[in-house]
């Protein structure tokens, strides 16, 4: 099957040349409406910088890194410093009068406080494991977001190329229809053909013009969609240099099965499972006692001493206080909040296990689906190449027969229609093959 895929790759490349060869002379005349051509690699890079999903995934990665740092820092003691000042206006009551006391009644206080949790039932270790798992989830999510973005860009980029090729094919059909109209008009003037031949040729020209207009509209719409995906302020389009299909060699099926088991979607699901297990452990730690230690040092200073009578309003003693405290806590009953949290953590773990299992099975299913789609597209390319060759030969014969009066214009138009349909089918088959390969790249997390 791999040999068939490699042979199909060569046929896809030949198909690109086969479709583009008769129309190569018109390539430079196709208007791009001022759109700036970019390569596929450039489009993917721009999407990685600008697509909101990728930007959001990088933000989650930063948040996860900050959470991991906070989890490590929870093993260190906290440290707080404080400073304060105040003023007290004191008065002394004498019989019949109130005499305010003079002086400078200011006081100042500063201190430092530190606290360290000595034992918390392994809660911090569980939170650290959960933070690490969250980091793995974020890393895998960034990879998945980048490949998803690349898939969207590739699909739209290939849609631009397909629309461009369809436009070239439609213009080739229009050119043939114009030539046929001239030939029919000459035959009608010579009296060797009926007027209906000329009318049918006019209709064929109108249909060809409509096909050109449709292809141009499709190309403009595809350009607009590609511009939005890459986040460009100006309109961009696919570079015609990327029209020829030349992918790298495909891995074997066994290699693909190994790669898909480590694909971005599977990694995200497995990382979520690790985070759920860590969350379950953290929830269990709430049933265990905790032991913490705190230390406080305070320095208090008052204003200079002044006395009235025998009463010392502000003394010179400035006490320095130190305090160390150990606290043991064991929650016995908190209105079943811990039990509720335990059930929620267990449900989250069960869900994560189911999602991880489904992610692995879904990856295998998609691998099978996309491989078969790629094989089918390559087979369709081979069939359409043969169909184009047969249609071109049939058209050549019909043109000669019509020139000799041995066939009708309807036979000639039928041959032209078959050739155009074969060209469009080849363009669609090449598009489907490219998309299938891009989807495989997203599935395994590796460019193919």
Per-residue pLDDT tens over the stretch 110-169: 888 888 888 877 788 888 888 888 888 888 889 889 999 999 999 999 999 888 888 888
Which of 84-98, 127-141, 173-187 reaches the highest mean pLDDT? 127-141
Give the tens place of pLDDT for each residue, 63-80.
Answer: 989 988 988 888 888 889
Q: Which of 199, 200, 206, 220 is nearest to 174 (CA)?
A: 206
Which two tokens mark 248?
């790298």
> Which pLDDT band, with edges at 50, 70 and 90, does 88 fall under?
low
Q: Mean pLDDT across the chain, nearest whole number? A: 80
CB contact at 8 A, 149 and 53:
yes
If one counts every other C-beta atom within 10 angstroms of the C-beta of residue 425, the result is 16
Which two tokens mark 66?
């900050």
- Residue 422 above 70 pLDDT? yes
Q: Which of 347, 342, 221 is nearest to 285 (CA)?
A: 342
223-232, 235-244, 338-347: least confident range: 235-244
The rounded distance, in Å, linking the Cα atoms of 312 and 55 is 68
Pairing status of strand 236-238 against strand 36-38: parallel
pLDDT given for residue 312 in this prediction: 42
pLDDT given for residue 22 in this prediction: 41
Which two tokens mark 176?
């043939």
pLDDT given for residue 226 in this prediction: 93
> Which pLDDT band, with edges at 50, 70 and 90, does 221 fall under?
very high
89-98, 115-124, 232-241: least confident range: 89-98
The rounded distance, in Å, linking the Cα atoms of 446 and 448 is 6
- Residue 319 above 70 pLDDT? no
Pairing status of strand 106-119 against strand 78-87: antiparallel
pLDDT given for residue 361 in this prediction: 92
* CA 300 distance to own-chain centroid: 59
Give the tens place of pLDDT for each residue, 350-408.
Answer: 999 999 999 999 999 989 998 898 889 889 988 989 999 998 888 888 888 877 777 77
pLDDT given for residue 21 in this prediction: 41
The rounded distance, in Å, linking the Cα atoms of 4 and 268 is 33
Which two tokens mark 227?
């511009």
> Which pLDDT band, with edges at 50, 70 and 90, does 96 fall under?
low
pLDDT given for residue 34 in this prediction: 80
In DSSP terms, 317 is beta-bridged to none
User: Which parts of 191-263 fold into alpha helices (H)?
Assistant: 195-230, 253-260
CB contact at 8 A, 303 and 104:
yes
Q: Flag whether the pTM goes above 0.75.
A: no
Domains of the chain: 2-76+121-289+337-444 (1.20.1600.10), 77-119+290-329 (2.20.200)
Percent of the chain topping pLDDT 70:
82
> Which pLDDT band, with edges at 50, 70 and 90, does 85 fall under?
confident
- Residue 32 above 60 pLDDT? no
Which two tokens mark 24?
């190569």
> Which pLDDT band, with edges at 50, 70 and 90, does 318 fall under?
low
Handedness of CA 410, 413, 419, 422 (dihedral sign): negative
**Average pLDDT score over residue span 218-231:** 92
């Amino acid at each position: 099957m791999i040999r068939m895929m490699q042979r199909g790759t060569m046929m896809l490349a030949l198909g690109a040349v086969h479709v583009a060869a008769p129309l190569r002379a018109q390539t430079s005349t196709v208007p791009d409406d001022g759109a700036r051509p970019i390569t596929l690699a450039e489009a993917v890079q721009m999407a990685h910088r600008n697509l909101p999903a990728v930007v959001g995934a990088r933000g989650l990665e930063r948040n996860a890194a900050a959470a991991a740092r906070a989890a490590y820092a929870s093993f260190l003691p906290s440290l707080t410093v404080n400073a304060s000042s105040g003023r007290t206006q004191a008065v002394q009551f004498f019989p019949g009068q109130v005499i305010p006391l003079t002086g400078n009644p200011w006081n100042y206080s500063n201190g430092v406080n530190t606290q360290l949790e000595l034992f918390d039932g392994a809660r911090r270790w569980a939170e650290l494991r959960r933070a690490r798992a969250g980091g793995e989830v974020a890393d895998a999510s960034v990879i998945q977001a980048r490949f998803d973005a690349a898939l969207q860009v590739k699909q739209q980029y290939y849609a631009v190329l397909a629309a461009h090729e369809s436009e070239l094919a439609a213009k080739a059909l229009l050119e043939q229809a114009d030539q046929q109209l001239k030939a029919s008009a000459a035959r009608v003037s010579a009296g060797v053909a009926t007027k209906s031949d000329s009318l049918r040729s006019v209709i064929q020209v109108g249909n060809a013009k409509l096909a050109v207009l449709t292809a141009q509209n499709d190309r403009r719409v595809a350009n607009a969609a590609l511009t939005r995906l890459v986040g460009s302020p100006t309109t961009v389009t696919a570079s015609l240099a990327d029209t020829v299909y030349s992918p790298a060699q495909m891995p074997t099926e066994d290699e693909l099965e190994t790669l898909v088991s480590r694909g971005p979607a599977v990694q995200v699901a497995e990382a979520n499972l690790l985070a759920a297990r860590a969350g379950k452990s953290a929830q269990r730690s709430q049933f265990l006692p905790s032991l913490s230690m705190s230390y406080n040092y305070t320095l208090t200073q008052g204003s200079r001493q002044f006395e009235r009578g025998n009463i010392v309003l502000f003394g010179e003693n400035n006490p320095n206080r130190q305090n160390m405290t150990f606290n043991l806590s064991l929650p016995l009953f908190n209105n079943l909040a811990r039990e509720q949290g335990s059930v929620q953590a267990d449900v989250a773990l069960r869900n994560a296990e189911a999602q991880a299992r489904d992610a692995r099975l879904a990856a295998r299913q998609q691998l099978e689906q996309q491989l078969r789609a790629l094989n089918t597209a390559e087979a369709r390319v081979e069939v359409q190449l043969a169909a184009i060759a047969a249609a071109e030969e049939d058209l050549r014969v019909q043109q000669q027969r019509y020139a000799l009066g041995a066939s009708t214009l309807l036979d000639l138009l039928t041959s032209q229609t078959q050739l155009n349909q074969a060209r469009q089918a080849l363009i669609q088959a090449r598009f489907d093959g490219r998309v299938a390969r891009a989807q495989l790249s997203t599935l395994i997390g590796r460019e193919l």
